[in-house]
Structure 1
Amino acid sequence: MECAYFSAGVCRSCELMGVPYSAQLAAKVADAQALLAAHPEAVWRDAAPSPEDGFRNKAKMVVGGTVDEPTLGILDGAQRGVDLRGCGVLAPGLRTALPAIAAFITRARLEPYDIPARRGELKNVLLTESPDGELMVRFVLRSTEALARIRKHVAALREALPRIAVLTVNLQPEHKAVLEGVQEIVLSDADTLAMRTGDVVLHLRPGGFFQTNTAIAAGLYAQAAAWLEPLAPATVWDLYCGVGGFALHLAAPGRAVVGIETSETAVASARLTAQEAGIPGVTFEVGDAGAYAIGREAPDAVVVNPPRRGLGAESAALLERTGPATIVYSSCNPVTLAKDLAAMPSYDLVEARLFDMFPQTRHAEVMTLLRRRG
């Protein structure tokens, strides 16, 4: 893949841009295998590739420029806007939506936030596209000053972008590098975006986490199911469950699946999916996934999908003591994955597979199957 922004030096986010994709994938696998070299017994499945471009279902666009000529993209070294509306890694449906978003900024007179001057209202525009082409659009503002103007011109925005399913204003009043705030004002009838993955339609609320690459997310869920199905676990924990992707794809007759997540919003979304789809035997709880095993009897299998920091020594040791027969560990950081596996010496790394969540970058997603010895 070639990128004019990268070639011009205005955006270097995709550090592997221009490297042949086969070479990118081979290097990521080699790096992951080197990090997990303490487990030579592991069988490495073929890496799961992604489309080289158009794979991002999210666009996190910093707003710069002026009301009449807004930029949507990133900031340069001087904290001025760099327009990236033609970014090739964004899904085509996101790219085609951005001109209408820019026009709406002008129509509603949403002054871009000027970081050096600490002046303006509109900080970011956050878009997510569902597999069916629907959009979630979130305007991140410093205050409610522009809210009335946004409401006034919503009809024009919807006419320009009829694919909008969820429309919100997020308030982030602080002058710091935080993408969004805690307060969300919903301006649409719907407050969830339907994210269809395989046979399950997950519900995503504003601020909720969903994998950035929908095709790879579906691959992760399918791989976990393929590994666990022959083992027929009667009880499964999905720790760090988010909106319930793994838990809901692992549901089966006679199987009890529990999903644990700190985010109340994500748990509400997971429960809604289970209810609408009529999926039995799956429950979701708000709680600390890292500490969930304390005082509980081990299930037959555990799925963990922690953030980049990994489980950490304490939570990994807790799983080691709890002793489920099988662990499926989906990691977005092979460095912390290796550290966590070292803290669980009773487990053998049976199989591993790299999923290329972010082509053109060095990011690697690695899923592993662990079996307890004895």
Structure 2
Amino acid sequence: MQCPYFDAGRCRSCSLMGRPYPLQLDDKQRHAEELLAPFDVPAWLPATASRERDYRNKAKMVVGGTVDAPTIGILDADGFGVDLQACGICSPGHRAAFPVLTRFITLARITPYDVNARRGELKHVIVTESPDGELMVRFVLRSSEPLGRMRKHMPTLLAELPQARVVTANLLPEHKAVLEGAEEIVLTDADTLPMRLNDVTMHLRPQSFFQTNTAIAEALYAEARDWIRDLAPEDAWDLYSGVGGFALHLAGGGTEVTGIETSVEAVASAELSRTDAALSRVRFAAGDATAFALAAPSAPDLVVVNPPRRGIGAELAGWLERSDTAHVLYSSCNAASLAKDLAAMPSLRPVKARVFDMFPQTTHFEVMVLLERNPRG
């Protein structure tokens, strides 16, 4: 894939841009195998490839420029907006929406935030596209000042962008390098975006995390279900469960599944999906994964972990090592922290592993490993 923004030096976010995709995939496979070599993975399945472009379902764009000529993209080294509305890794739905959003910014007179001067209102637009082509559009503002004008002109936005199911304003009053604030104001009747993956529909709320690459997320969850099916666990935990992707895919049969996630918004999304699917043997709760495990009176047959880049950490790894959990399914976005965690769980040995290329054109990827407890002598 070639990118004119990358070639012109305007954006370097995709560090592997221009490198042939088969070589990118080979490099990621090799890197994962090298990091996990000490654990003698007996079966490395072929890496799951992504589309090279158009793969992102979520575009997190900085707004710059002026109210009459806003930019949607990133900021340069001097804090000025760089317009990236034709970004090739964003979905076609994103690229079609960006011009409509720039016109709405001008119509509603939402002044882009000036990082250097620390004035203005609109900091980011975050656009998520569902597999069915519907959109969630979130405007990250410094204050509620533009809300009246946004509500006034919302019919115009929805007429020009009818695929926008959910539109919100997120308030981020502080001047700091974060993407969003704590308060979310919904401006449409709908407040969730249905994300249909495989035979599971997840209802995404505005502040809930969802995997960035829909096709690869589908493959990841389907593979997890296939790996677990023959194990037939009576009970399972999905720790760091997010909006419930693993838990909802593992539901069914006789397995009782508990999902634990710190984000209250994500738990609300997962509970709505569970209710909608009438899954009586699945439950979700808000809480810390490590604290939940340490406080539990017993361990389940299966523990699924899908932690952030830092991994599960020494405390939870130690608990898993001491427990009598028969299997652990570990999905990692950072193979280095995965290797560190595996070293702390020597009684749990890999059965098989697979790389899922969640982020083409970058060095990042997902790797999933099934672990089985060695018999204790």
- TM interval, short-chain normalised: over 0.9
Q: Which residue of 2 aligns with 1:287?
A: 287
Q: Distance in 1 between matches of 2:137 and 2:188?
A: 10
Measure how far apart 1:253 and its partner are. Answer: 2.4
Residue equivalent to 2:315: 314
Partner of 2:306: 305
**Is the Cα contact below 8 Å between 2:330 and 2:369 reproduced in 1?**
yes
Question: Is 1:68 aligned with 2:68?
Answer: yes
Distance across 2 between alignment mates of 1:65 and 1:31 = 40
* Residue 254 of structure 2: aligned partner: 254
Q: 2: CA distance between counterparts of 1:41 and 1:261?
A: 29
Contact kept? 1:293, 1:322, Cα under 8 Å: no
Aligned match of 2:275:
275
- List aligned pairs for 1:124-139, cutoff 5 A: 124-139=124-139
Distance (whole Å) between structure 2 residues aligned to residue 223 and residue 89 of structure 1:
24
Identity of aligned residues (%): 62
Given the alignment of the two structures, is residue 218 of structure 1 paired with residue 218 of structure 2, yes or no? yes
Note if 1:324 corresponds to 2:363: no
Aligned equivalents of 2:253, 2:29: Cα separation in 1:
36
- Rounded to whole Å, the distance in 2 between the matches of 1:272 and 1:253 is 20
What's the secondary structure of 2:221's corresponding residue?
Answer: helix
Residues 115-138 of structure 1: CA distance to partner in whole angstroms, max 9, x if unpaired?
101110111001000000000001
Give the match's secondary structure for 2:26.
helix
Residue 173 to residue 41, structure 1, CA distance change in 2 (3 Å)? closer
* TM-score (norm: length of structure 2): 0.98
- 3-state SS of the aligned residue for 2:364? coil
- Aligned pairs (5 A) from 1:102-117: 102-117=102-117
Question: Deviation of residue 37 (structure 1)?
Answer: 1.0
Q: Is the 1:251–1:280 Cα contact (8 Å) retained in structure 2?
A: no
Q: What secondary structure does 1:278 align onto? A: coil
Is the 8 Å Cα contact of residues 73 and 84 (structure 2) preserved in structure 1?
Answer: yes
Contact 1:242 1:263 in 2 (8 A): yes
Inter-partner Cα distance in structure 1 for 2:184 and 2:41: 48
Question: Residue 44 of structure 1 corresponds to which residue in structure 2?
Answer: 44
Q: Does residue 84 of structure 1 match 2:84? A: yes
Q: Report the Cα distance in structure 2 between the residues aligned to 1:56 and 1:42, rounded to whole angstroms.
A: 32
Over the aligned positions, Cα root-mean-square deviation in angstroms equals 0.8
Q: CA deviation at 1:308?
A: 0.5
1:8-27 correspondence runs (5 A): 8-27=8-27
Residues 63 and 72 of structure 2 are in contact (CA less than 8 Å); yes or no, is this contact kept in structure 1?
Answer: yes
Q: Secondary structure at the match of 1:227?
A: helix
- Secondary structure class of the residue paired with 2:293: coil
What secondary structure sits across from 2:184 in the alignment? strand
Partner of 2:149: 149
- Asked whether the equivalents of residues 253 and 281 of structure 1 are also in contact (C-alpha less than 8 Å), the reply is no
Conservation of the 8 A alpha-carbon contact between 2:41 and 2:353: no
Q: Is residue 2:209 matched to residue 1:209?
A: yes
**What is the CA distance between 1:40 and its match in structure 2?**
2.0
Work out the CA distance in 2 between the residues paired with 1:42 and 1:210.
Answer: 31
Q: Which range moved further: 147-156 or 271-280?
A: 271-280
Distance 2:282 2:71 in 1: 44
Q: CA deviation at 1:320?
A: 1.1
Q: CA deviation at 1:201?
A: 0.5
Contact 1:58 / 1:127 at 8 angstroms: preserved in 2?
yes
SS at match of 1:218: helix
* TM-fit CA distance, 1:154: 0.3
1 CA distance for matches of 2:284 and 2:119? 43
Mapped to 1, the partners of 2:211 and 2:172 lie a distance apart of 23
| CA drift at 1:268 | 1.2
Counterpart CA distance in 2 for 1:42 and 1:344 is 17
Query: How many angstroms apart in 2 are the aligned matches of 1:284 and 1:364?
Result: 27
Q: 2: CA distance between counterparts of 1:368 and 1:258?
A: 20
SS of residue matched to 1:60: strand
Give me the whole-angstrom Cα distance separating, in 1, the residues matched to 2:117 and 2:263: 35
- SS of equivalent residue, structure 1 residue 151: helix
Structure 1 position 41, deviation (Å): 3.8
Report the AA paired with residue 205 of structure 1.
R
* Residues 61 and 124, structure 1, Cα contact 8 Å, conserved in 2: yes
Q: Distance in 1 between matches of 2:41 and 2:76?
A: 46
Task: Name the SS of the counterpart of 1:302 in structure 2.
Answer: strand
Note the alpha carbon deviations across 1:243-298, whole angstroms, 9 max, x for none. 11100100122211111111111111111111111123111111111222224311
Q: In the aligned structure 2, how far is the partner of 1:302 from the partner of 1:119?
A: 47
Whole-Å Cα distance in 2 between the matches of residues 322 and 61 of structure 1? Answer: 44
Residue of structure 1 in register with 2:337 after alignment? 336
TM-score, structure 1 as length reference:
0.99
